[in-house]
Amino acid sequence: MKKLFQNLLLLFCLISISGNALAQQGSKDFNPILTTMPSMSISPDARAGGMGDAGVATAPDVYSQHWNASKYAFATSSSGFALSYTPWLRKLVDDIALMQAVGFFKLGSNDDQAISGSIRYFKIGDINIFDMHGENINSISPNEMSIDLGYSRKLSQTFSMAVALRWLHSDYSGASDEISAGNTVAADISGYNESYIFLGNSESLLSFGVNLSNLGGKMSIDDNATKQFIPANMRIGASLMYPMNDVSTLSFSADMNKLLVPTPPIMGESESREEYMKRVEEYNNTSSISGIFKSFGTADGGFSEKMKELVWSFGAEYDYDGKFRVRSGYYHENKMKGNRRYMTFGAGFKLSAFQLDAAYLLSTAGQANPLDQTLRFSLAFDTDGIKRMVNR
pLDDT of residue 4: 39
**Alpha carbon distance 145, 50 (integer Å):** 24
Q: What angle do CA 348, 148, 48 make, to 5 degrees?
A: 25
Q: What is the pLDDT along the chain (392 residues), one digit of tens a residue?
A: 344 344 444 444 444 433 334 434 467 789 999 899 989 999 999 999 999 999 999 999 999 999 999 999 999 999 999 999 998 877 777 778 999 999 999 997 788 999 999 999 998 877 776 667 667 766 778 899 999 999 999 999 999 999 999 999 998 877 667 788 899 999 999 999 999 999 988 899 999 999 999 999 999 988 878 899 999 999 999 999 999 999 999 999 999 999 999 999 998 888 899 999 999 999 999 999 999 999 999 888 899 999 999 999 999 999 999 899 999 999 999 999 988 999 999 999 998 889 999 999 998 887 556 677 888 999 999 988 888 878 77
Q: How many CB atoms lie within 10 A of CB 284?
A: 18
pTM of the model: 0.90
pLDDT of residue 368: 57
- Domain boundaries in the chain? 2-37+51-390
pLDDT of residue 3: 43
- Beta-bridge partners for 257: 235, 311
Q: 334 to each of 20, 86, 91, 328, 377, how far by Cα in Å?
A: 23, 24, 22, 20, 27
- Three-class SS string for the chain? CHHHHHHHHHHHHHHHCCHHHHHHCCCCCCCCCCCCCHHHHCCCCHHHHCCCCCCCCCCCCCCHHHHCHHHHHHCCCCEEEEEEEEECCCCCCCCCEEEEEEEEEEECCCCCEEEEEEEEEEECCCEEEECCCCCEEEEECCEEEEEEEEEEEECCCCEEEEEEEEEEEEECCCCCCCCCCEEEEEEEEEEEEEEEEEECCEEEEEEEEEEEEEEECCECCCCCCCCECCCCEEEEEEEEEEECCCCEEEEEEEEEEEECCCCCCCCCCCCCHHHHHHHHHHHHCCCHHHHHHHCCCCCCCHHHHHHHCCEEEEEEEEEECCCEEEEEEEEECCHHHCCCEEEEEEEEEECCCEEEEEEEEEECCCCCCCCCCCEEEEEEEEHHHHHHHHCC
pLDDT of residue 114: 97
pLDDT of residue 16: 43
Q: How many CB atoms lie within 10 A of CB 315?
A: 28
pLDDT of residue 221: 85
* CATH number belonging to domain 2-37+51-390: 2.40.160.40
Q: How many CB atoms lie within 10 A of CB 274?
A: 7
pLDDT of residue 268: 86
CA dihedral 43, 48, 51, 55 (to 10 degrees): -100
pLDDT of residue 9: 45
Q: Kindly report the backbone phi and psi dihedral angles of residue 205, in degrees, each rounded to the nearest multiple of 5, phi listed first.
A: -100, 120
pLDDT of residue 131: 66
